[in-house]
């Protein structure tokens, strides 16, 4: 399959995956409310806070193992790659068992102290349900590792498609269980069973389509373990700066302007972030081959593929900005039932930030592909602090319009800083990207 066809296949699979995830969030809500009622569903959402936060941790060690493995393998260090794979899988195995036991003990303690007694859900059912939902991200720790097999086989679309099927099956199972009167325990059990089955299928197929006997000779290496932990912390901390920026800004706005301004900030952010769904589809379509090119140390191909990602996202951003400029206010009024009035200046600031978001979002892929998580994490923390400080200063001067200034400053600063740092990894300046952008390179 040619590179161009792989990108198209990845794009189709990624679109299906995104639509499935959107459907999971949108379609299941009315079913939960209808069968459980608003109060019980609210309790369920409360229970899911901890598993949801915990799910972010798989972005740490799993990504560290996966990215290290593929770069070593493609770089010709197959023995080291085999040892990385063996070491990583061993630690994940022990980690899954250890975390399972610790989380079980913690939940047992919470139940004994009566934490769940005040909930509308039966305390025992609540405790077991939250434990089962804890187990779901645990069993997905392996996916970031075996995802690399699909990339090496140049069949990333198959892995993405399996992910989409997993989400679709969860939706179907949830609707069926709810129709048969299942409560939180039934739903949690159903989700866990589907996840385990589909993960087994995911791993089995990855080993079928990519075979290398040398990988079976890998051995546990303590030196590699230390390296993986160091990288893993970098990936694990990635959500930190996002929380610092979003939650820090939200808290600041609440203190300075009140709850109504918080609603404006969060609803406008949600509306603008819909563009990220398309950015993700574009990136997911090209990223597998982009990382392979990085591992193969093919600078020309790396530059062409990055240019394709970069300019595609810019085109999407411009189209989105035009669309929102024309229809955004009408959509917002319909969405919020006309109960929230957003000043024109805030619209201008938020819409203007989209183009810079598209550019730094594209650049962020460079650091993961090169297995350099700290470059993005530390930049995000620094820029988040600058943005929150700017928001405070802007609100002091401009009042509510200062919210938009902080958003624009964040995306603009992220773009400028990441442009400088990423230039050492991908040898293309901002202006060179437009000159070297070649569809011929994509079609080869």
Looking at the fold, whether 223 and 293 belong to one and the same domain comes out as no
pLDDT of residue 319: 94
Looking at the fold, whether 247 and 166 belong to one and the same domain comes out as no
Looking at the fold, whether 300 and 174 belong to one and the same domain comes out as no
Q: Looking at 231, 255, 271, which one is the last position of a domain?
A: 231
Looking at the fold, whether 47 and 71 belong to one and the same domain comes out as yes
Q: Categorize the per-residue pLDDT at 279 as very low, low, confident or very high, splitting at 50, 70 and 90.
A: confident
Compute CA distances 221 → 68, 81, 106, 252, whole Å. Answer: 14, 11, 32, 47
- Tens of pLDDT along 408-418? 999 999 999 99
User: Taking residues 33-62, what's their average pLDDT?
Assistant: 73
pLDDT of residue 49: 67
pLDDT of residue 87: 94
Give the chain as a 3 state SS string: CCHHHHHHHHHHHHHHHHHHHHHHHHHHHHHHHHHHCHHHHHHHHHHCHHHHHHHHHHHCHHHHHHHHHHHHHHCCCHHHHHHHHHHHHHHHHHHHHHHHHHHHHHHHHHHHCCCCCCCCCCHHHHHHHHHHHHHHHHHCCCHHHHHHHHHHCCCHHHHHHHHHHHHHHHHHHHHHHHHCCCCHHHHHHHHHHHHHHHHHHHHHHHHHHCCCHHHHHCCCCHHHHHHHHHHHHHHHCHHHHHHHHHHHHHHHHHHHHCHHHHHHHHHHHHHHCHHHHHHHHHHHHHHHHHHHHHHCCCHHHHHHHHHHHHHHHHHHHHHHHHHHHHHHHHHHHHHCCCCCCCCHHHHHHHHHHHHHHHHHHHHHHHHHHCCCHHHHHHHHHHHHHHHHHHHHHHHHHHHHHHHHHHHHHHHHHHHHHHHHHHCCCCCCCHHHHHHHCCHHHHHC
Look-up of token digits 């001067």: 397
> Is the C-alpha dihedral spanning 265, 271, 277, 279 positive or negative?
negative
Q: Which domain holds residue 327?
A: 239-443
Looking at the fold, whether 219 and 252 belong to one and the same domain comes out as no
Average pLDDT, the chain: 87
Compute CA distances 346 → 78, 335, 405, whole Å. Answer: 53, 17, 8
pLDDT at 332 over 80: yes
User: Taking residues 376-392, what's their average pLDDT?
Assistant: 94
| % of the chain residues with pLDDT over 70 | 93
pLDDT of residue 439: 44
Q: How far apart are CA 313 and CA 298, in angstroms?
A: 23
| % of the chain residues with pLDDT over 90 | 48
Spell out the residues 6+ positions from residue 200 whose beta carbon is closer than 8 angstroms to its own. Answer: none
pLDDT of residue 119: 72
pLDDT of residue 57: 53
pLDDT of residue 136: 87
Looking at the fold, whether 249 and 138 belong to one and the same domain comes out as no
The winner for highest mean pLDDT among 132-136, 139-143, 260-264, 394-398 is 394-398
Number of domains forming the structure of the chain: 2
- Tens of pLDDT along 337-382? 787 888 999 999 999 999 999 999 999 999 999 999 999 999 999 9
- Tens of pLDDT along 134-154? 888 888 888 989 999 999 999
pLDDT of residue 201: 96
Q: Categorize the per-residue pLDDT at 124 as very low, low, confident or very high, splitting at 50, 70 and 90.
A: confident
Q: How far apart are CA 170 and CA 192, in angstroms?
A: 9
pLDDT at 4 over 90: no
Q: Categorize the per-residue pLDDT at 436 as very low, low, confident or very high, splitting at 50, 70 and 90.
A: very low
CA 250 to chain centre: 21
Looking at the fold, whether 170 and 198 belong to one and the same domain comes out as yes
Pick the residue with more confidence: 105 or 437? 105
pLDDT of residue 344: 93
Pick the residue with more confidence: 215 or 117? 215
Looking at the fold, whether 349 and 208 belong to one and the same domain comes out as no
Q: Categorize the per-residue pLDDT at 58 as very low, low, confident or very high, splitting at 50, 70 and 90.
A: low
Q: How far apart are CA 70 and CA 90, in angstroms?
A: 17
pLDDT at 435 over 60: no
pLDDT at 431 over 70: no
Q: Looking at 231, 259, 276, which one is the last position of a domain?
A: 231
Q: Looking at 206, 231, 256, which one is the last position of a domain?
A: 231
Looking at the fold, whether 200 and 266 belong to one and the same domain comes out as no
Looking at the fold, whether 189 and 320 belong to one and the same domain comes out as no
Contact 167, 21 (CB under 8 A): yes
**Which range, of 65-79, 92-106, 207-221, averages the lowest pLDDT?**
92-106
pLDDT of residue 382: 94
Pick the residue with more confidence: 251 or 432? 251
Can you read off the two tokens belonging to residue 49?
Answer: 């806070």
Q: Which of 441, 121, 67, 91 is nearest to 286 (CA)?
A: 441
Looking at the fold, whether 177 and 50 belong to one and the same domain comes out as yes
Looking at the fold, whether 294 and 320 belong to one and the same domain comes out as yes
Can you read off the two tokens belonging to residue 65?
Answer: 């193992």
pLDDT of residue 77: 92
């Amino acid at each position: 399959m040619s590179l161009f066809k792989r990108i198209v296949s990845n794009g189709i699979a990624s679109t299906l995956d995104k639509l499935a995830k959107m459907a999971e969030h949108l379609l299941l809500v009315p079913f939960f409310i209808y069968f459980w009622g608003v109060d019980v569903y609210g309790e369920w959402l409360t229970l899911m806070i901890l598993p949801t936060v915990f799910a972010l941790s798989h972005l740490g060690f799993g990504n560290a193992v996966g990215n290290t493995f593929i770069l070593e393998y493609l770089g010709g260090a197959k023995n080291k790659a085999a040892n990385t794979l063996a070491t990583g899988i061993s630690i994940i195995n022990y980690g899954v068992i250890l975390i399972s036991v610790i989380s079980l003990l913690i939940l047992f303690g919470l139940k004994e102290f009566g934490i769940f007694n005040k909930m509308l859900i039966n305390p025992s059912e609540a405790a077991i349900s939250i434990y089962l939902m804890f187990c779901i991200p645990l069993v997905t720790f392996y996916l970031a590792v075996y995802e690399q097999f699909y990339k090496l086989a140049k069949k990333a679309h198959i892995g993405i498609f399996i992910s989409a099927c997993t989400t679709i099956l969860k939706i179907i199972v949830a609707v069926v269980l709810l129709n048969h009167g299942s409560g939180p325990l039934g739903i949690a059990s159903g989700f866990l069973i589907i996840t385990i089955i589909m993960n087994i299928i995911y791993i089995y197929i990855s080993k079928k389509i990519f075979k290398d006997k040398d990988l079976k000779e890998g051995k546990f290496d303590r030196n590699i373990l230390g390296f993986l932990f160091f990288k893993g912390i970098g990936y694990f901390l990635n959500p930190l700066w996002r929380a610092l920026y979003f939650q820090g800004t939200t808290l600041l706005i609440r203190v300075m302007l009140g709850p109504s301004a918080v609603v404006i900030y969060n609803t406008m952010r949600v509306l603008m972030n819909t563009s990220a769904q398309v950015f993700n589809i574009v990136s997911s379509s090209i990223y597998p081959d982009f990382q392979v090119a990085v591992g193969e140390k093919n600078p020309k191909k790396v530059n062409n593929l990055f240019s394709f990602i970069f300019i595609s996202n810019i085109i999407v951003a411009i189209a989105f900005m035009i669309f929102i400029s024309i229809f955004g206010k009408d959509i917002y009024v319909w969405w919020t039932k006309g109960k929230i009035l957003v000043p024109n200046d805030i619209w201008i600031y938020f819409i203007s930030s989209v183009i810079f978001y598209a550019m730094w979002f594209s650049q962020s892929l460079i650091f993961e592909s090169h297995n350099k998580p700290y470059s993005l994490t530390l930049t995000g923390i620094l820029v988040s602090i600058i943005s929150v400080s700017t928001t405070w200063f802007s609100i002091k001067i401009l009042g509510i319009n200062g919210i938009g200034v902080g958003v624009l400053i964040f995306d603009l600063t992220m773009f400028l800083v990441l442009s400088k740092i990423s230039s050492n990894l991908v040898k293309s300046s901002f202006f060179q990207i437009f000159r070297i952008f070649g569809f011929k390179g994509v079609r080869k």
